[in-house]
Amino acid sequence: MDYPYYVKDAVEMTIHLAETAGAGGLYNLGSGAANTWNALATAIFAALGRAPRIEYIPMPEVLRAKYQYFTQADIAKLRASGYSRAVTTLDEAVGDYAKNYLVPGRHLGDEG
């Protein structure tokens, strides 16, 4: 699985492209690195300060041939456009989101 690990990265990438002369066309926005559902689940448990407790179930037969088991965005075109910022790691993104935005009454962009 690959995607911008964090909406903040996707926004920064989009703003970069909007402000970059000659940056037309289609671009892959992602981390440029593949990851796993296990890594995501482990990051969530870590952000919540809990020991990982992951249970596996068999992939439903009807989905096996349709499921995309590997994705990795090729962000070479984005990098060639001059985008040089580091992408937030999965652990950092999940931790920031869980600790700063999964709080009742708080929203993305709130101060404090």
Contact between residue 16 and residue 81 where contact means Cβ atoms under 8 Å apart: yes
Helices 37-47, 90-100: inter-axial angle, 10-degree rounding: 40
Residues 112, 33 contacting (CB under 8 angstroms): no
Overall domain count for the chain: 1
Give the integer Cα–Cα distance in Å for 59 and 69. Answer: 11
Indicate if the pLDDT at residue 104 is higher than 70.
no
Query: What does the pLDDT look like over 86-97, one tens digit per residue?
Result: 999 999 999 988
108 falls within a domain:
no
pTM, two decimals, is: 0.77
Per the structure, the complete domain to which residue 82 belongs is given by: 7-100
Asked if residue 28 belongs to a domain, the reply is yes
Angle at 94 between CA 93 and CA 96, to 5 degrees: 65
Give a yes or no: residue 20 inside a domain.
yes
Q: How far apart are CA 53 and CA 13, in angstroms?
A: 34
Query: What does the pLDDT look like over 47-87, one tens digit per residue?
Result: 988 899 999 999 999 999 999 888 889 999 999 999 999 99
